[in-house]
């Protein structure tokens, strides 16, 4: 009991030690001086209550965990349902249903909702691309956002300096990002695990800082603004068309409505995400896709079977980066503005979180996780200050309840001829 009492007291003190400097002190500027004041008594009272709760929690920890165990089990998905949900055939049907819903709903949805959905689709694309590198080939890449930046800047620069349209730049941006993926793949061929993660993290930052400091061309921290939006076979969605162009609403004799543009962008994003989904799905069932997974499982065995690990790694980096490039050029087109600040490390972390949360290697998992990761912060805008806190809590909960991800990948079942 005394041991419990001791650690309980310590925990209560710890609550004060953590919470008081963060919440209990306020900085105010008086004239040119910065002064520290205590905050309102309510906050102090809340901290006090928290510390008391923590004290009790630790003091009675054994009793609580016993009660916890005897209580009916928490939302653990039953084994059978989980198995059914992760079967490849079920996943295919779910994906098909999702596509139909995704095509129809924006015409009835609100403008804000469609806008967020577009953002989600960008992250779906990024998640699917990173899934190749991390989930399938097992190469932990923390600098994925760098390729996203390459794609975005490729379109921004080509559009700004040469006036090329989105549809021409899209493949170029993908190709540029792929080239970067290929080139950056070379120096890291010999690295695995943590070392690879650190080096790729560095690459991501190098690309961002390079774009930031290349002021003459990229505009430095101000970025590039007024990037052209995609057109629908040459028809723009602006109110007034530029010289020599026609607008969508005039051509079809419709009333101008700004939501048309939002819906169109959403549909373009959907198209790109579906294309990515299709291509990656096929890659999985091709020799190269199987080789990626083999590389993740055992590199030495790969070599013994005559598979060249260099080629496999480079192809994973290259193709993964290409998808980031497509996503990036769409991002630039949607925002109309790119700055280096859009491509900080936290973006890489979010994309990686999507892959891990969804279940490594699982496509449907990535889609679901992208929805969760983007939608949750949007829905909880009021609590935006606590966003990172919730992010952390979500990760901890996931690690406890479903460490394998929301919808982990299942092996494809292959029919044998009897």
Partner 1 sequence: MSREILKVENLSMRFGGLLAVNNVALTVKEKQVVALIGPNGAGKTTVFNCLTGFYQPTGGSILLDGEPIQGLPGHKIALKGVVRTFQNVRLFKDMTAIENLLIAQHRHLNTNFFAGLFKTPSFRKSEREAMEYAEYWLDKVNLKEFANRTAGTLAYGQQRRLEIARCMMTRPRILMLDEPAAGLNPKETEDLKALIGVLREEHNVTVLLIEHDMKLVMSISDHIVVINQGTPLADGTPEQIRDNPEVIKAYLGEA
Name which of 259 and 279 has its Cβ closer to partner 1.
279
Q: Report if residue 301 touches partner 1, rule: CB under 8 A.
A: yes
Name which of 285 and 381 has its Cβ closer to partner 1.
285
Q: Report if residue 306 touches partner 1, rule: CB under 8 A.
A: yes
Site string for partner 1, 388-417 (x = CB under 8 A): -----------------------xxxx-xx
Name which of 37 and 303 has its Cβ closer to partner 1.
303
Q: Are strands 246-247 and 235-236 parallel, antiparallel or unpaired?
A: parallel
| Residue among 46, 95, 274, 302 that touches partner 1 (CB under 8 A) | 302
Among residues 143, 161, 155, the alpha carbon closest in space to that of 209 is found at 143
Site string for partner 1, 219-258 (x = CB under 8 A): ----------------------------------------
The answer to whether 405 and 365 have CB atoms below 8 angstroms apart is yes
Name which of 10 and 278 has its Cβ closer to partner 1.
278
Minimum Å gap between C-beta 288 and partner 1 is 7
Minimum Å gap between C-beta 285 and partner 1 is 8
Name which of 301 and 396 has its Cβ closer to partner 1.
301
Minimum Å gap between C-beta 283 and partner 1 is 7
Minimum Å gap between C-beta 413 and partner 1 is 5
Name which of 171 and 392 has its Cβ closer to partner 1.
171
Name which of 238 and 293 has its Cβ closer to partner 1.
293
Name which of 250 and 299 has its Cβ closer to partner 1.
299
Minimum Å gap between C-beta 278 and partner 1 is 8
Q: Taking CB under 8 A as the criterion, which residues in 261-300 touch partner 1?
A: 279, 282-283, 285-288, 290-291, 293-294, 297-298, 300
How many of the chain's residues bind partner 1 (CB under 8 A)? 29
Minimum Å gap between C-beta 135 and partner 1 is 12
The answer to whether 355 and 362 have CB atoms below 8 angstroms apart is no
Would you say the C-alpha torsion 325, 330, 336, 341 has a positive or negative sign?
negative
| Residue among 308, 376, 388, 399 that touches partner 1 (CB under 8 A) | 308
- Report how far residue 191's alpha carbon sits from residue 185's, in angstroms, rounded to the nearest whole number: 10
Name which of 9 and 279 has its Cβ closer to partner 1.
279
Minimum Å gap between C-beta 65 and partner 1 is 32
Binding site for partner 1 (CB under 8 A): 279, 282-283, 285-288, 290-291, 293-294, 297-298, 300-309, 411-414, 416-417
């Amino acid at each position: 009991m005394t041991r419990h009492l001791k650690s309980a007291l310590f925990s209560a003190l710890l609550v004060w030690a953590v919470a008081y400097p963060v919440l209990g002190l306020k900085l105010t500027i008086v004239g040119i001086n910065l002064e520290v004041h205590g905050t309102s008594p309510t906050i102090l009272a809340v901290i006090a209550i928290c510390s008391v709760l923590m004290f009790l929690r630790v003091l009675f920890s054994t009793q609580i965990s016993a009660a916890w165990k005897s209580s009916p089990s928490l939302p653990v998905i039953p084994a059978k349902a989980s198995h059914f949900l992760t079967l490849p055939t079920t996943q295919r049907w779910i994906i098909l249903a999702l596509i139909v819903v995704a095509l129809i709903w924006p015409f009835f949805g609100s403008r804000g909702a469609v806008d967020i959905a577009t953002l989600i689709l960008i992250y779906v694309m990024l998640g699917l691309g990173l899934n190749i590198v991390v989930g399938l080939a097992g190469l932990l890449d923390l600098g994925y956002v760098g390729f996203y930046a390459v794609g975005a800047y490729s379109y921004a620069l080509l559009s700004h300096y040469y006036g090329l349209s989105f549809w021409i730049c899209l493949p170029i941006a993908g190709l540029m990002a792929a080239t970067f993926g290929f080139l950056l793949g070379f120096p890291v061929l010999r690295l695995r695990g943590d070392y690879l993660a650190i080096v790729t993290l560095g690459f991501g930052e190098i690309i961002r800082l390079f774009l930031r400091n290349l002021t003459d061309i990229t505009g430095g921290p101000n970025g590039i603004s007024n990037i052209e939006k995609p057109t629908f076979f040459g028809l723009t969605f602006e109110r007034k068309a530029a010289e020599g162009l026609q607008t969508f609403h005039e051509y079809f004799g419709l009333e101008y409505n700004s939501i048309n543009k939002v819906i169109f962008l959403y549909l373009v994003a959907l198209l790109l995400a579906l294309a990515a989904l299709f291509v990656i799905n096929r890659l999985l069932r091709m020799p190269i896709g199987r080789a990626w997974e083999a590389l993740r499982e055992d590199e030495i065995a790969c070599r013994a079977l005559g598979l060249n690990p260099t080629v496999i790694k480079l192809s994973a980096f290259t193709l993964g980066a290409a998808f980031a490039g497509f996503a990036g050029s769409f991002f630039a087109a949607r925002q109309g503005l790119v700055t280096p600040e859009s491509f900080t490390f936290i973006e890489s972390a979010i994309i990686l979180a999507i892959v891990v949360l969804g279940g490594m290697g699982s496509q449907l998992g990535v889609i679901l996780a992208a929805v969760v990761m983007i939608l949750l912060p949007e829905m909880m805008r009021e609590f935006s200050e606590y966003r990172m806190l919730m992010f952390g809590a979500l990760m901890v909960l996931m690690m406890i309840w479903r460490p394998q991800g929301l919808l982990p990948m299942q092996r494809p079942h292959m029919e044998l001829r009897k």
